[in-house]
Amino acid sequence: MDDFDDAVRAILATGPVCDACLGRPFADRSFGLTNAERGKGLRVTHALAEDDPYETVEPDECWVCEGLCGRFDEYAELVADGLADIEFETYQVGTRTPPLVEENDRLLREDAGMEPDSGELFKSEFNREVGKRVGRLTDTEVDFTRPDVLALVNLDAAAEDPSSHAVEVQVNPAFVYGRYRKLERDIPQTEWPCRECGGSGVQLGDDGEEPCDHCGGSGYLYDMSVEEHVTPHVLEAMDGDEALFHGAGREDVDALMLGTGRPFVAEVKRPRSRDPDAEALQRRINEEAAGAVEVEGLRLATHEMVERVKELDASKTYRAKVEFDDAVDADALADAVATLSGTTVRQHTPHRVDHRRAKLDRERTVYEISAEQTDDRHATVDVHGEGGLYIKELISGDEGRTEPSLAGLLGVDATVSALDVLAVEGEDEPFDDPDYLR
């Protein structure tokens, strides 16, 4: 106890110290008090023990914080004003502390013979006290992990001009989760810049720059994408600066996405509104897409949903229209399908994607496969397979790069004339876990 009394006495001997700065080095004692309340109690106790007159010290007279501990309300109002035009539910307050105040805070403990990190540092107290007041002013909740907004108070700038750059606001992205169906072929999932002109729409000719022959001057190989059908509407609904599209894998550009659709997340940077009417947004997207693309199940999501959509192990169900080069006997087709069902196949990177994928051997499981013949040269084949299974190559064999294959088992060349994706589902758990939705 003597060490404690000596530390209080030493702090008071350093010069005028306000209650908050007196209490802060002892913040780990007697929980439930503010540092100002703790400091006042220490001052009263010391005055009684020493039989000295009780004299309070106003923050403006304090050599440690130089008045800042008396301005929590002022800075909270400054933060609330800076957030006035932004819709948010959670926040966090941070501080850029003047170097002199940080040095004073260190010297206070040094002069009292205390450890440099004793109790609580000025920055932590300022963040908490201003943060509590911001919550009351805005009727929102603090979140120390992933707040909707982060308000950074620059105390140096505020001291010079409270109306200019005193509060820097970081607005974290907002997220909308849903599933999309692609009902027309030759629509990529995301924008597809032209490789010939690098997306510029122009190329050098004999007379200088000319419209790119490959893309017709548009800069893109396809006029529209799923991304372009979806993200502009989400961006408008959330009044943000930029929108990104994240899909749970992607189907070939010439494949349809049917059935239950493919999970996706639209990420909006710096949203000013975080709570759009999801049903109205869904209707607007579908109306504007005019049957080319449909979305369903739109819901607000957490930022973790982006990683979940991109990384969660998922199985896929496909429907392939298959053409055979020669007539195929129904029994032979049934036997080949039975052999493939439940089989793990080895697939070397297909010819059609080896320009953008590493050349590797991959093993993928065919969970279930069935076939229905239209005639002896055509069939519809449904495949439920492990994520990453190349369906076109499972059918064709890809010149032996996939083993076994339907074509290899039949001894007849087979090609996929049309491919539809019917379902994309998590292998062990659903994508739309409530923990990832808001």
Question: What is the Cα 165 distance to its own chain's centre?
Answer: 27
Q: Does residue 398 have an active-site annotation?
A: no
Q: How many CA atoms lie within 13 A of 367 on its CB side?
A: 13
Q: Among residues 19, 105, 148, 252, which one is catalytic?
A: 252
Distance CA 289, CA 294 (A): 7
Write out the two tokens for 72: 């929590």
Structural contact between residues 318 and 370, judged by C-beta atoms closer than 8 angstroms: no
Burial 180-199 (b: 16+ CB within 10 A, else e): bbbeeeebbbebbbbeebeb
Structural contact between residues 399 and 351, judged by C-beta atoms closer than 8 angstroms: yes
Cα separations in angstroms, 285 against 54, 101, 332: 69, 53, 46
Is residue 373 packed enough to be buried (19+ CB in 10 Å), middle (13-18) or exposed (0-12)?
A: middle
Distance CA 43, CA 36 (A): 10
Is residue 157 packed enough to be buried (19+ CB in 10 Å), middle (13-18) or exposed (0-12)?
A: middle
Burial 39-67 (b: 16+ CB within 10 A, else e): bbbbbeebeeeeeeeeeebebeebebbbe
Q: Count the Cβ atoms, other than its own, within 10 Å of residue 75.
A: 24
Closest CA to 10 of 118, 109, 101, 103: 109
Decide the pairing of beta strands 414-426 and 256-269: parallel
Q: Count the Cβ atoms, other than its own, within 10 Å of residue 290.
A: 10
Q: How many CA atoms lie within 13 A of 398 on its CB side?
A: 19
Residue type, 83: L
* Distance separating the N- and C-terminal Cα atoms of the chain: 50
**Could you list the active site residues?**
252
